[in-house]
Amino acid sequence: MELGGRMLWALLSGPGRRGGTRGWAFSSWQPHLPLAGLLNAKELVSHWTAVFEKRGIPEAQASSEYIVAHVLGAKTFQSLRPELWTQPLTPWQLQCIQELSSRRLQRMPVQYILGEWDFQGLSLKMAPPVFIPRPETESRVIAVDKGEAAICLTEENAQRLRLLDRIRIVPLDVTLEGSWAHLLPWGPVDLVVSNPPYVFHQDMEQLAPEIRSYEDPLALDGGEEGMDIIIHILALARWLLKDSGSIFLEVDPRHPELVGNWLQSQPDLSLDLVAMRRDFCGRPRFLHIQKSGPQRGCPADVWPGPQPARVPG
């Protein structure tokens, strides 16, 4: 350990006097010596946690664990192989931990220090001054369907993709009177995204056999003009959407005009058709509808139901 201590001292006291960012980082080690015996991951985490706490650095232990794990090639300290916790570090690894920890002492966010960050299953490159995605801003989803098979398959997929903590699955028939009340605990919402039953009833027999023979007709048949479920969804928006919230619908190419005319006949809903998008074949198939203002009798800052519990972090 004495040899290791001399190596550490030589490594960190030499290059650190040449100036620049790296020089500042290396020379800043000296107030925190001696570190002659701190040559494995667990001991370095403990050391830098104490240093960060003394300097008032937020999330001191998490910061030190992320830095040490990053240098050792892992996302988190807990994901390291147990043998790496007590295995002596190389001089290069010690140098990297020293430099990254010194940046944290300058209050640089850990995300920028590491140069990458995992968010919602994606590994994103991070560099200042680009915005850092944080868990308190991640979206949460309410999935609504009346079909038991669809509900079961959604739950299975959410579990397989490890999304159960970010999705609420609600069995619900939106055509039932007062169905919006079942969604009150999770509203108001920013977006409603729906691929509703929109096939014109007279077109059902013209569907390809692969669709007509195997898919649920209730998930396809939208009534005489394909508007039955679409109208229910639009009517629900007065209760579910935040002001300036949006609805995104997949529709039949004949629906943009029908939906636009229907919305104009329902001014109390305060919904406007603001955009239409075409599919890969050039057909108008996707509608963006936006809520334009607060509803009468329902103040903009009041949601008529119990508020959802706040999620820490």
pLDDT tens by residue, 60-91: 999 999 999 999 999 888 888 888 888 888 88
Q: How far apart are CA 221 and CA 202, in angstroms?
A: 9
pTM over 0.75: no
Task: Kindly indicate the confidence band of residue 247, based on its pLDDT and cuts at 50, 70 and 90.
Answer: very high
Task: Give the per-residue pLDDT at 273.
Answer: 96
In eight-state DSSP terms, residue 101 is H
DSSP β-ladder status, 241-250 and 189-194 = parallel
Give the residue extent of every domain in the chain: 2-107, 139-171, 180-308
Architecture of domain 180-308: 3-Layer(aba) Sandwich (3.40)
Taking residues 109-131, report their average pLDDT.
82
Task: Give the per-residue pLDDT at 136.
Answer: 57
Task: Give the per-residue pLDDT at 82.
Answer: 83
- Among 10-19, 112-121, 149-158, 230-239, the minimum mean pLDDT is found in 10-19
Task: Kindly indicate the confidence band of residue 310, based on its pLDDT and cuts at 50, 70 and 90.
Answer: very low
Task: Give the per-residue pLDDT at 213.
Answer: 86
Q: Does the pLDDT of residue 1 top 80, yes or no?
A: no
Are 183 and 142 within 8 A, CB to CB?
yes
Q: Nearest CA to 43 among 94, 81, 9, 96? A: 94
Name the 3-class secondary structure at 143: strand
- Among 27-36, 94-103, 131-140, 209-218, the minimum mean pLDDT is found in 27-36
Task: Give the per-residue pLDDT at 237.
Answer: 84
Q: Residue 271 half-sphere exposure, CB side, CA atoms within 13 Å?
A: 28
Name the 3-class secondary structure at 161: coil
Name the 3-class secondary structure at 182: helix
Task: Give the per-residue pLDDT at 116.
Answer: 87
- Calculate what percentage of the chain has a pLDDT beyond 90: 42
Are 204 and 212 within 8 A, CB to CB?
yes
Task: Give the per-residue pLDDT at 137.
Answer: 57
Task: Give the per-residue pLDDT at 176.
Answer: 87
Residue 214 or residue 205, greater confidence:
205
Q: Does the pLDDT of residue 275 top 80, yes or no?
A: yes
Task: Kindly indicate the confidence band of residue 309, based on its pLDDT and cuts at 50, 70 and 90.
Answer: very low
Task: Give the per-residue pLDDT at 281.
Answer: 93
Residue 78 or residue 15, greater confidence:
78
